[in-house]
Amino acid sequence: MPSMLINREALESGIYNPRIDSRVLALQQIMETQDPATNTSLQTPRNPPLVEPATVDFELREYVEQFNTYSVYNPFQGVLDNPTSCLINPIRDDFSALRALMDSRFSGDPSWTAYRPDFITQVEGPNGLLSNLDSFEDHTDRLTNNLPSLAGIAQAALALTAAINLLSNPCLGLDGFLGSIMDEGKAILRDVGRFVKDALGEVTDWVDANIGPLVASIGAAVAAASAAIADLIAKATQEVINFAKAMLSQVRQGLAELMANLPQDPCLRNLLGSVVTGTAAAVIGG
């Protein structure tokens, strides 16, 4: 005789006992069979998060704080990788090679000696190009390595936007939500890489005895890279704000969906008689 303690309705419900897609199991197995020793993602951020919670509207602070706590460690090795890392690492190497080449070829030259401290500050200083690249890579690590959560937030936020605004394209705005790991962020990084690569090529091919024009050209390349990376950081910062707004929308939408469907839930429908306001109960009952 079946136990009276078993909630048969819940046991047979698709809500609590769903079927698992074979592709889901295959992807899970890929992640579980990876050797942790091969996971090169950093376990601690390189720099502080881009957005300080105290700088945003009060209702968004909780969600900015939540984003800031997202790990930069990748638990999904073999399935997810940060697509910006392969663009950022060569930029770091090229800046290092550019400085080393200038030092080796033009050591003691007045033009390079005068510009060298500015170059080091702009590129290697606490708020320099490489530090900003570190911050951006931390940001995109958080996006990539927490993609399951963020994709769910994006879907809910965009569904809500489409429902409210009756948009003909329900995917409108998704590139802005996760733009840093999509084409927009990668395009800017390619520009930065090109600026540095061109400067390195100029130094390698330089034959004129007067390096003043070369130093000026290097300075222009660094300035262009700085402007591009500043744009990158600004877009990433806005992305955190977009995340916080989406989180707030998702929480509200989630509550609305939960309340609307409680009468069909065999385990939670008793909540209707406790925390739901009279106004909400009237909507649900109607």
Q: State which residues form the domain around 150.
A: 42-257
216 belongs to a structural domain:
yes
Domain membership of residue 149 (yes or no) is yes
Range among 18-32, 100-114, 242-256 rated most confident: 100-114
Domain assignment present for residue 95? The answer is yes
pLDDT per residue as tens digits for the range 216-242: 999 999 999 999 999 999 989 988 988
Task: Say how far apart CA 2 and CA 121 lie, in whole Å.
Answer: 75
Residue 13 inside a domain? The answer is no
pLDDT-based confidence at residue 103 (cuts at 50, 70, 90): very high
Q: If you average pLDDT over every residue of the chain, what do you get?
A: 86
Q: Which residue has the higher pLDDT, 280 or 106?
A: 106
**214, 202 Cβ separation under 8 angstroms:** yes
175 or 110, which is more confident: 110
Give residue 16's pLDDT band: very low, low, confident or very high (50, 70, 90). confident
What is the number of alpha carbons within 13 Å of residue 204 lying toward its C-beta?
Answer: 9
Domain membership of residue 113 (yes or no) is yes
Q: Which of 43-47, 144-148, 167-171, 211-215 has the highest mean pLDDT?
A: 211-215
Q: What's the structural domain count of the chain?
A: 1
Is position 86 within any domain? yes
Longest dimension (CA), the chain: 97
> Is residue 163 domain-resident?
yes
More confident residue, 98 or 265: 98
For residue 2, name the pLDDT band (cuts at 50, 70, 90). Answer: low
Token digits for 36? Answer: 């942790």
CA 260/CA 272 separation, integer angstroms = 10
No. of helices (H) and no. of strands (E), the chain: 11, 0
Task: Say what the pTM is.
Answer: 0.79
What confidence score (pLDDT) does residue 21 get? 82
The answer to the question of residue 212 being in a domain is yes
